[in-house]
């Protein structure tokens, strides 16, 4: 998901939460929404939003960071909101997608690990493991639970600027091996990983932050290419959570993958994936163009099978969801979120 400047929204008074089927206040920390906040500290409105039973976490961006000390203070404020604590996540992939820079190790773009692998596989794998260890250790020191990565999209379209050097490699087998080492490094420090953007974003040139994107290939080709890293990681027990793309695959379904029951069934049944499924940001154009309304989009993603929903950049949209959404959250989804939280340090 892309970070945009976010202005605190104060045009809506915080309301007492309505009745949300499938929820009660004892489940407050298990809510399926992970929301963005505006700045370096929490506003009064944001504190109220984070107390809502639908909210289970916060995703941070560069706008939330000045230096490590400030970051620790912000994360401490977020953790103090609820018991059990809210999850805190960030996109900290390395290269051009690294939200925190001052005081943090500069992580390389994942494509550079692919280059190292081509030169010497052992060196490439060792460097990937080191990257995973470093990013997890530094984030956990500030009480950040999840990095939304690694990217396991294939570098299969040179025109894809949104993926580009975020991808390890064009070869799905190499992607799987390098991703495994990043994840192992993260896990050894106590951090879970989120492989993305399932089932694959590397083939399309369009940026789903800005427009709809369609991948014309059929299921078999995607299964034998883009899904190979997911299949490998699942087989090795390293696929802990994954993030869905907003790409449409018209040969499979007319809906973006994040709203596709066909794709969800394939992941749960054919891939036999039992971990948490996370949506990409529902404020992205590819999601809003399909659903039209943020409340409908959020409800649709949950009802389709996403366990954790990202609402990153538009606080007015977050407030609309908190004020108006009524949804049945399946018990199995709440259990997957509880497991994800339990496995974070």
Nearest CA-CA partner of 110 in 97, 100, 119: 97
In a domain, residue 45? The reply is no
pTM for the model stands at 0.90
Paired strand residues for 129: none
Residue with tokens 């920390």: 29
Residue 15: which pLDDT band, with cuts at 50, 70 and 90? Answer: very low
Domain of 152 in residue numbering reads as 63-342
CA 317 to chain centre: 18
Number of domains composing the chain: 1
In a domain, residue 25? The reply is no
Name the DSSP class of 89.
Answer: E
What pLDDT does residue 30 have?
67
Q: What is the DSSP string of 191-227?
A: -EE-EEEET--TT--S-TTTS--B----HHHHHHTTT
In a domain, residue 51? The reply is no
Averaged over 183-205, what is the pLDDT?
95
On the question of pLDDT at 315 being above 60, the answer is yes
- pLDDT, tens digit (0-9, with 9 covering 90-100), for 163-183: 999 999 999 999 999 999 999
- pLDDT, tens digit (0-9, with 9 covering 90-100), for 203-224: 987 877 767 789 999 999 999 9
In a domain, residue 96? The reply is yes
Count of other CB atoms within 10 angstroms of residue 154: 24
Query: Which amino acids are annotated catalytic?
Result: 209, 280
Q: What percent of the chain has pLDDT over 70?
A: 91
Cα–Cα distance between 58 and 37 in angstroms, integer?
7
Residue 204 is part of a domain; what is its CATH number? 3.20.20.300
Cα–Cα distance between 291 and 268 in angstroms, integer?
24
In a domain, residue 41? The reply is no
In a domain, residue 166? The reply is yes
- pLDDT, tens digit (0-9, with 9 covering 90-100), for 106-126: 999 999 999 999 999 999 999
Higher per-residue pLDDT: 17 or 201: 201
């Amino acid at each position: 998901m892309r970070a945009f400047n976010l202005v605190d929204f104060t045009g809506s008074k915080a309301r007492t939460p309505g009745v949300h089927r499938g929820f009660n206040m004892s489940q407050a920390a298990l809510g399926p929404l992970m929301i963005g906040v505006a700045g370096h500290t929490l506003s009064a409105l944001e504190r109220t939003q984070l107390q809502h039973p639908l909210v289970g976490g916060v995703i941070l961006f560069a706008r939330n960071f000045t230096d490590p000390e400030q970051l620790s203070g912000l994360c401490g404020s977020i953790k103090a909101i609820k018991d059990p604590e809210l999850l805190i996540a960030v996109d900290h992939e390395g290269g051009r997608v690294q939200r925190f820079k001052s005081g943090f190790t500069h992580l390389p773009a994942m494509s550079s690990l692919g280059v190292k692998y081509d030169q010497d596989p052992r060196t490439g794998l060792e460097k990937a493991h080191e990257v995973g260890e470093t990013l997890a250790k530094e984030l956990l020191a500030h009480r950040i639970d999840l990095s939304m990565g690694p990217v396991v999209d294939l570098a299969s379209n040179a025109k894809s600027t949104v993926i580009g050097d975020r991808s390890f490699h064009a070869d799905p087998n190499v992607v799987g091996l390098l991703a495994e080492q990043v994840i192992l490094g993260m896990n050894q420090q106590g951090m879970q990983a989120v492989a993305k953007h399932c089932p694959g974003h590397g083939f399309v040139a369009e940026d789903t932050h800005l427009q709809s994107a369609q991948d014309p290939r059929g299921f078999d080709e995607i299964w034998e290419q883009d899904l190979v890293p997911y299949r490998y990681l699942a087989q090795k027990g390293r696929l802990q959570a994954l993030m869905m793309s907003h790409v449409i695959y018209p040969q499979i379904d007319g809906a973006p993958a994040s709203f596709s029951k066909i794709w969800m069934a394939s992941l749960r049944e054919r891939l036999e994936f039992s971990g948490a499924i996370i949506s990409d940001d529902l404020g992205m154009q590819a999601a809003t163009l399909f659903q039209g309304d943020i409340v409908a989009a959020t409800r649709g993603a949950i009802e389709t099978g996403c366990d954790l929903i990202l609402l990153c950049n538009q606080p007015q949209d977050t407030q609309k969801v908190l004020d108006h959404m009524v949804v049945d959250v399946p018990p199995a989804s709440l259990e997957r979120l509880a497991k994800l939280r339990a496995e974070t340090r």
